[in-house]
Amino acid sequence: MPFLLGIDVSTTASKALLLSDSGEVVASQAAEHEINAPRPLWSEQEPSMWWEAVQTSVAGVMRKAGVGAEAVVGIGLTGQMHGLVLLDKSGQSIRPAILWDDQRSARECNDIREMIGLDALVRETGNDAFPGFTLPKLMWVRNNEPGNYARIAHVLLPKDYIRYRLTGAFGTDKAGAGGTLMLGLASRGWSDLICDSFEVDKNWLPQSYEGPDVTGVLRDDVADQLGLRAGIPVVAGGGDQAAQAVGVGAVHPGVVALTLGTSGVVFAGTDQPLTAPNGAAHAFPHAVPGRWHMMGVMLSAAGSLRWYHDTFRQGTSYDELLTGTDTVVPGCQGLSFLPYLSGERTPHADPNVRGAFVGLTHVHDAAHVTRAVLEGVAFGLRDNLDLLTNSGLPRPDVVRVSGGGARSDVWLQIIADVMDVPLAKVASTEGAAVGAAMLAGIGAAVWPSIDAAVSACVRLEGEVHPDAGNVSAYGEPLARFRSLYHALAPTFRVGAD
Q: How confident is the model at residue 380 (pLDDT cuts 50, 70, 90)?
A: very high
Q: Give the span between the Cα atoms of 122 and 291, in whole angstroms.
A: 18
In the chain, how many domains are there?
A: 1
Question: Which pTM value belongs to this model?
Answer: 0.90
pLDDT mean over 110-137: 95
pLDDT for the residue numbered 262: 85
Whether pLDDT at 337 is above 90: yes
Q: How many CA atoms lie less than 13 Å away from 14 in the CB half-sphere?
A: 28
Q: How many CA atoms lie less than 13 Å away from 39 in the CB half-sphere?
A: 8
Q: Which residues contact 10 (CB under 8 A, 6 or more apart)?
A: 33, 79, 80, 240, 262, 432
Domain membership of residue 269 (yes or no) is no
Domain membership of residue 405 (yes or no) is no
Whether pLDDT at 351 is above 90: no
Domain membership of residue 79 (yes or no) is yes
Are the C-beta atoms of 159 and 134 separated by less than 8 Å? no
Domain membership of residue 177 (yes or no) is yes
Catalytic-role residue among 8, 101, 240, 350: 240
Q: How confident is the model at residue 275 (pLDDT cuts 50, 70, 90)?
A: very high
Domain membership of residue 43 (yes or no) is yes
Tell me the average pLDDT of the chain.
Answer: 95
Secondary structure of residue 468 in the 3-state scheme: helix
Q: Give the span between the Cα atoms of 294 and 276, in whole angstroms.
A: 8
Q: Give the span between the Cα atoms of 222 and 229, in whole angstroms.
A: 9
pLDDT by residue (tens digit) across 187-237?
999 999 999 999 999 999 999 999 999 999 999 999 999 999 999 999 999
CATH code for the domain of 127: 3.30.420.40
pLDDT for the residue numbered 494: 56
pLDDT mean over 334-362: 93
Domain membership of residue 440 (yes or no) is no
Domain membership of residue 192 (yes or no) is yes
> From its phi and psi, is residue 45 left (phi > 0), alpha (psi between -120 and 50) or beta?
beta
**Cα 32-286-118 angle, rounded to 5 deg:** 100
Q: Is 240 a catalytic residue?
A: yes
Domain membership of residue 270 (yes or no) is no
Q: What is the domain range of residue 222?
A: 3-248
Whether pLDDT at 272 is above 90: yes
Are the C-beta atoms of 301 and 377 separated by less than 8 Å? yes
pLDDT for the residue numbered 492: 87
Q: Give the span between the Cα atoms of 45 and 35, in whole angstroms.
A: 6
Are the C-beta atoms of 459 and 249 separated by less than 8 Å? no
pLDDT mean over 55-73: 94
Q: Give the span between the Cα atoms of 190 and 134, in whole angstroms.
A: 13
